[in-house]
Chain A
C-alpha cells in the first residue's frame, strides 16, 4: 500500500536544532536500500511559496504558504509498504520527526 509521509517543520523555534541535510540524505538512502521508495522530494524554502485562492470567480495570488501557522511542509516521501506499522516505523526514522512532525496518509487508489 502506498503512503505519503509529509514532513512538517516548525518556524521560529529558537531552541530547536533543525535536522541537517546529511541526516535527510542518509534517510533517503535507507529508503532506497529498503526498496520502498515511490517518490520523494524536499520542497523549496518557505520564502519560495506562493498561495492561490479563487473566490467568487476572482483569482487571488499571494506571497507565502497557505496558512498563518507555525508549521510548514518541508518535503514529502511516497513509500510502498505492506501496512501502517511499517509506514509509521519509516516516519519515526525520518529526521523531521524529532524536530517537527511527520504526517502519514494512505494514498487513495483512484484506479
Chain B
C-alpha cells in the first residue's frame, strides 16, 4: 500500500475508533486522563510507524496493546501509582468483559464509558461535560462554546469530576439488571441535553451546534447498538431522528425561525422520519411506555401529518396525558395546552393556559407569553395577540425566535 493511502486509512481508523480506544483503556486503567494520554501516544506512534510498516491486520488491537504498554511505563515512573499498579491489573482481562464485541473481536467498552461518565454520584453538569469530552471526543473549547459557558469553568468541572471518579473509586462498569434500569434514564438524559442544545439554537448558523445534534444522534445509535433490548433507548433515538428531520425547514431565508405551521414539509428528511417511525413502534411495543417513546410518538404524528390542521390532535392530547403522568414538567403542560387548543378551539386552550399560569412553577416560564400569543392570534383577538407577541419577543432566547415573534406582532397590529 502506498504511503499516502496508508495515512488516509490510518486517519479513517482514528476517526471511527478513537472513542472505542479510549473506552477500552478507561475500563482497564480506571483513569480517564491516563486513558486519553496513552491513546494519543499510541495514535502518534501509529502515524509514524504504519506508513512505514504497513497497516496492521487489526488496527484497534494494535493501538490498545501499544497504549497499555505506554500506560505501564508511565505508572512505573509514578511512585504513588505504584501502589495501585497491582490493583489495576492492567494486563488481565476485566472480570466481566463487555458483552458486545466489535467485528474485530474486541469488547465495545463505550457503554462502560458512558455509564461511568453519567454516574449519579457526579454533578449533572459534570456528567454532560465528561460525556462530551470522552465519549463524543469534543475538545474543552468546543464544549464551552456549545453551552455558552466559560472555558475555565468547563475545564474545572472536568478536573473535579475525574478527581471524584478516582478518589471515590467510581468503578468503570456497566450496571446490571435493576441497577441498569435505574441508571439508564441519567444516560439518556445527557444524550437528550446534547441534542436539545444543538437543536434550539438557530439552525444552520453555527457549525458547532449542527454538529451537536449529529453527535447526540451518533451517541443514541451507539446506545441502540449496545442495548438492543432497551425500548427507551429506541424511543430516544426515534425522538432525536424525528425532531432532527425538521431541521432544514426551521430557518427561513432571512434567518428567522419558521414555526411548524409554516414549514415547508417537503424539506423534512424523509429517510430520518421513516427510521424514526419504525423505532417508535419498537419503543411502544411489548411493555409499558416510557417518556422518550411517548415523546417520539408525538413527534411521529407531526411528521406524518400533511399540515397543521390535518394533524391528529386528539391523539396528540391523549399522548400528552400519558406523558404528564410519566414525566410531568411545565413544558409538557404548555405543549398539551397548545394541543388542546388545536383540538377544541383556541378559547378552550386559553382558558387552560390561564389556569396553568396560575401555578407558580409555570407562571415565570419563558414560553408562556409565546404560547399565549399564538392562542390569542388563533382566537382572532389580534390586539391582545400583538401585545403578547411583543412581550414574548422581549424574552426570546435567540435572534431568529425574536425575529419571528416581532413579525407576528407587526402582523397582528398593523
Interface residues of A (CB under 8 A from B): 1, 82-85, 88, 104, 106, 108
Which residues of B are found within 8 Å of A108, using beta-carbon distances? 167
- A106/B167 in contact, CB under 8 A: yes
Which residues of A are found within 8 Å of B175, using beta-carbon distances? 85
Q: At the interface, yes or no: B355 with Cβ under 8 Å from chain A?
A: no
Interface residues of B (CB under 8 A from A): 121, 167-171, 173, 175, 179
In the bound assembly, the distance between CA atoms of A11 and B121 in angstroms comes to: 26
In the bound assembly, the distance between CA atoms of A85 and B173 in angstroms comes to: 10
- B171/A83 in contact, CB under 8 A: yes
Closest to A85 in B: B171
Counted as pairs of residues, one from A and one from B, with CB atoms less than 8 Å apart, the total is: 23
Which residues of A are found within 8 Å of B167, using beta-carbon distances? 106, 108
What are some 17 contacts across the A-B interface (CB < 8 A)? A1-B169, A82-B171, A83-B169, A83-B171, A83-B173, A84-B121, A84-B168, A84-B169, A84-B170, A85-B173, A85-B175, A85-B179, A88-B121, A104-B168, A106-B167, A106-B168, A106-B169
Please provide the 5 A-B residue pairs with the shortest distance between their CB atoms, ordered closest to farther: A83-B171, A84-B168, A83-B169, A1-B169, A84-B170
Closest to B30 in A: A83
Which residues of A are found within 8 Å of B179, using beta-carbon distances? 85
In the bound assembly, the distance between CA atoms of A108 and B179 in angstroms comes to: 28
Closest to B167 in A: A106
In the bound assembly, the distance between CA atoms of A84 and B167 in angstroms comes to: 10
A47 to nearest B CB, angstroms? Answer: 34
Which residues of B are found within 8 Å of A88, using beta-carbon distances? 121
Which residues of B are found within 8 Å of A82, using beta-carbon distances? 169, 171
In the bound assembly, the distance between CA atoms of A108 and B168 in angstroms comes to: 10
A106 to nearest B CB, angstroms? Answer: 5
In the bound assembly, the distance between CA atoms of A88 and B167 in angstroms comes to: 15
In the bound assembly, the distance between CA atoms of A88 and B168 in angstroms comes to: 11
In this complex, the member of A82, A84, A106, A108 whose beta carbon has the largest number of chain B beta carbons within 10 angstroms is: A84
Which residues of B are found within 8 Å of A85, using beta-carbon distances? 170-171, 173, 175, 179
A111 to nearest B CB, angstroms? Answer: 9
In the bound assembly, the distance between CA atoms of A104 and B167 in angstroms comes to: 12
Given contacts A84-B168, A88-B121, A108-B167, 18 further A-B contacts (CB under 8 A): A1-B169, A82-B169, A82-B171, A83-B169, A83-B170, A83-B171, A83-B173, A84-B121, A84-B170, A84-B171, A85-B170, A85-B171, A85-B173, A85-B175, A85-B179, A104-B168, A106-B167, A106-B169
In the bound assembly, the distance between CA atoms of A85 and B168 in angstroms comes to: 10
Closest to A1 in B: B169
Which residues of A are found within 8 Å of B169, using beta-carbon distances? 1, 82-84, 106
A85 to nearest B CB, angstroms? Answer: 6
In the bound assembly, the distance between CA atoms of A29 and B26 in angstroms comes to: 36
Which residues of A are found within 8 Å of B121, using beta-carbon distances? 84, 88
A68 to nearest B CB, angstroms? Answer: 27
B113 to nearest A CB, angstroms? Answer: 16
In this complex, the member of B169, B170, B171 whose beta carbon has the largest number of chain A beta carbons within 10 angstroms is: B169
Closest to A88 in B: B121
In the bound assembly, the distance between CA atoms of A82 and B167 in angstroms comes to: 12
In the bound assembly, the distance between CA atoms of A108 and B175 in angstroms comes to: 26
A88 to nearest B CB, angstroms? Answer: 7
A55 to nearest B CB, angstroms? Answer: 32
Which residues of A are found within 8 Å of B173, using beta-carbon distances? 83, 85
